[in-house]
């Protein structure tokens, strides 16, 4: 029974690492999430009919005015500037966790401390993404907001979520 405990802890740590590394692996088609460079995946080609790049493609939020598009783009750039250092830090922590959990002799107190740090960083990322989403919502009409709200926001880039549903608009 005593031998199962370190194995169980390693298994749990490995699952956490897998979940965290999935945070950048968002679907890259038809407006779902962001890619690793912080670009909206909506701008990637899509093989589905009517997807981005297709002649039938329609924006995820209908009837955006030029002013709305401009303001949303400004919010997006500002948000990306805040997110990049956090995503970089998350990548560093993930790499460190991988190193710690695959060492010949694993220091579980150091692993647990790092997992706590990753959790705090994940919380910070999710809060920033939730605020960004609200900032975009404030720019929308009631009809646009209903459509925007119906889109799945995901977990905003932590723990394997689908990423924050970003706004459409020209790149």
Most confident listed range (57-61, 112-116, 162-166) = 112-116
* 76-to-36, 61, 129, 171 alpha-carbon distances in Å: 15, 15, 10, 10
Q: Is the dihedral of CA 131, 133, 139, 141 positive or negative?
A: negative
pLDDT score at 152: 75
Greater pLDDT, 54 or 153:
153
How do residues 59-80 score in pLDDT, each as one tens digit?
A: 588 999 999 999 999 999 999 9
Q: Is residue 53 part of a domain?
A: yes
Q: Kindly report the pTM of this predicted structure.
A: 0.60
Q: Which of 42-56, 103-117, 136-150 has the lowest mean pLDDT?
A: 42-56
Question: What is the percentage of the chain residues whose pLDDT exceeds 70?
Answer: 55
* Burial profile 36-60: b = 16 or more Cβ within 10 angstroms, e = fewer: eebebbbbbebeeeebbeeeebebb
Q: Is residue 18 part of a domain?
A: no
Total tally of structural domains belonging to the chain: 2
Domain containing residue 122: 65-154
- Whether 90 has a pLDDT exceeding 50, the answer reads yes
pLDDT score at 60: 81
Do 82 and 150 lie in one domain? The reply is: yes
Cα 140–chain centre separation: 22
* CATH number of the domain encompassing residue 147: 1.20.120.1490
Do 123 and 143 lie in one domain? The reply is: yes
Provide the pLDDT confidence category of residue 48 given band limits of 50, 70 and 90.
Answer: very low
Do 69 and 112 lie in one domain? The reply is: yes
């Amino acid at each position: 029974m005593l031998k199962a405990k370190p194995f169980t802890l390693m298994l749990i740590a490995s699952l956490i690492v897998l979940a965290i590394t999935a945070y950048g692996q968002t679907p890259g088609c038809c407006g779902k999430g962001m890619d690793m460079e912080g670009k909206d995946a909506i701008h990637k080609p899509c093989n589905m009919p009517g997807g981005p790049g297709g002649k039938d493609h329609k924006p995820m939020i209908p009837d955006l005015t030029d002013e709305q598009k401009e303001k949303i783009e400004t919010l997006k750039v500002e948000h990306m500037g805040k997110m990049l250092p956090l995503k970089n830090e998350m990548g560093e922590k993930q790499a460190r966790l991988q190193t710690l959990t695959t060492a010949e002799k694993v220091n579980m107190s150091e692993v647990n401390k790092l997992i706590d740090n990753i959790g705090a960083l994940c919380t910070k990322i999710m809060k920033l993404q939730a605020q960004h989403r609200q900032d975009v919502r404030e720019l929308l009409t009631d009809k646009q907001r209903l459509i925007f709200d119906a889109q799945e926001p995901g977990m905003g880039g932590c723990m394997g979520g689908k990423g924050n549903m970003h706004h459409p608009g020209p790149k």
